[in-house]
Structure 1
């Protein structure tokens, strides 16, 4: 039978050193890279966690509930997924592990925080790249994760990753998926800022009245140039999944697929036309798919959301696809 760790990310007020506000793991903050912030509340209801633990225990699993309030405490949990020592000394996940991980999530940012720590643990440095690592990857197959949404009653309105992937939301169904369900491998976006993206990123912002603020930057997808830096950009969507497929009913991404090994990128720019002497503005959406995307802002700071985490882009940022790098337990 399995040992199951039910991991909850702790609250801001309980976190050592300020927790979320200091970029800790609890809200998906990025302590190793450019500052990120989120307005997501970190407080996590205990009822779904206890219900899932009871369901797992009833099936004979040995269950431990852990509340992690820092990256270090998350890392202590993830170390239980390590495989046997390797001759090259690298930390590597155990593909036959009898320990399974369930992450209780109040937001996609919290799920990303855990996957980010998995990448930090298992990605070998370039100078020690092993021969058994796939040529199109910088990380091995990460251990699958059970996802326990902490808002199971809102499944009809949520567009979080659990909803997008059709994962179970009821605690008992999550427990069954972890013990009996299949594993679905999903693409992961890494970026040169040191973070990861599970769903996608949206670059751009609006003023206090909701009017879009245009920005300029060069956007390249492999060899395709979507903007040369001269266009006033309304928004740029970088999609692994479909969370940022539309913006105020404007279709951006057409068919983002987190299993196709590609990132879909869309840039929306205003186009001025004249008809019968009247000026009209429409939005042109330029799209491309590829293995990598680079955004080079010309403006001083470009606001963005990345898996729901806010940030500001002031220098070149590149995302690239790691096909099938992470995985979830499905029903």
Structure 2
């Protein structure tokens, strides 16, 4: 039978934290660094106690050995992921154990927390370029990552357009998640790696906004493989870089038309305001949406900072950012 770790990330992480997939501490600041793992089921985070324990009870009833861990730092996430390590390789690399009897469930209050764990997994198993092994697929920089269970903890997001669990077709009820993790069905998904050292599971939306919340045009060069969607000379209302399709629109503007997390490509959409002049009529402003698919994409802001949201995490971008597709790199247990 399996050993199952129900991994929660402590609440209160700042927006720039590693728990959100960017950098810093995982769980609420430096005062939490080095805190002990929570392995006592009575110490689960108050807001997540019911679904986590319900899932754990179902696992225990099925004969699994269950451990409850609340991680408060990146190091504590890494300690859990270390249980998925394979035997030592001759080349010194750490590779996943395909025969492991340990399974990990992320009890996630947000998409950012799922990404935080996948990001640490990528960092753990991705070989440095100088030690690229011959058995790594040509179009990949990481091996097949171990499958994860995902237990969503925010019922309010169920069925919303940006609900990653729904977009990926994953089970969401505690009993269903437990059954999937104890089964043998997994589904592999693409992930996007970035030159900033992060990963993206759903997508990124770059859109400047004023104090009134309305979109403000910004300029930048947007490219997908060899296709240039914007050369940096015109205003852009929004740019979506999509893997799973959660950023399909912004304020009624249709962006991504069909991002697929299993097709090995990234879809990019750019919304550009265009002034249309007609004879004997007043000029009219329309929104032109340009789309392209490819293996890699880049955005280079031209004037200052651009606001963005990546897997639900807000930030600003003031330099070139590149994304590339790792086809089928991560996986989740499915019903």
Match of 1:21 among 3, 9, 14: 14
Q: Distance in 1 between matches of 2:15 and 2:213?
A: 29
RMSD across aligned C-alpha pairs, in angstroms? 1.7
SS at 2:283's partner residue? Answer: strand
Contact 1:212 1:234 in 2 (8 A): yes
Change (3 A) 1:204 1:43: farther
SS at 2:14's partner residue? Answer: helix
Partner of 1:8: 8
Partner of 2:306: 302
SS at 1:87's partner residue? Answer: coil
Change (3 A) 1:158 1:287: closer
Q: Distance in 1 between matches of 2:288 and 2:46?
A: 41
Q: Distance in 2 between matches of 1:109 and 1:11?
A: 12
Partner of 1:39: none
Count residues with an aligned counterpart.
315
Q: Distance in 2 between matches of 1:44 and 1:138?
A: 37
Contact 1:185 1:259 in 2 (8 A): yes
Contact 2:106 2:150 in 1 (8 A): yes
Structure 2 residue 282 is the aligned partner of structure 1 residue 268: no
Query: Within 5 A, what are the aligned runs for 1:36-185?
Result: 44-152=47-155, 155-157=158-160, 159-185=162-188
Q: Distance in 1 between matches of 2:160 and 2:260?
A: 21
Change (3 A) 1:156 1:319: closer
TM-score normalized by structure 1? 0.91
Contact 2:22 2:198 in 1 (8 A): no
Deviations 1:67-101 (A, max 9, x none): 00000000000000000110111111011111101
Of 276-285 and 302-311, more deviation after overlay is shown by 276-285
Deviation at 1:30, TM superposition (A): 2.2
Q: Distance in 2 between matches of 1:285 and 1:69?
A: 42
SS at 2:277's partner residue? Answer: strand
Contact 2:15 2:313 in 1 (8 A): no
Q: Distance in 1 between matches of 2:53 and 2:69?
A: 12
SS at 1:140's partner residue? Answer: coil
Match of 1:325 among 322, 326, 329: 329
Change (3 A) 1:153 1:303: closer
TM-score normalized by structure 2? 0.90
SS at 1:215's partner residue? Answer: coil
SS at 2:240's partner residue? Answer: strand
Contact 1:236 1:268 in 2 (8 A): yes
Partner of 1:15: none
Partner of 1:30: 23
Deviations 1:203-250 (A, max 9, x none): 112212232111001111100000011010000000001110111121
Structure 2 residue 188 is the aligned partner of structure 1 residue 195: no
Partner of 2:287: 283
Contact 1:215 1:232 in 2 (8 A): yes
Unaligned runs of 5+ in 1: 13-19, 33-41
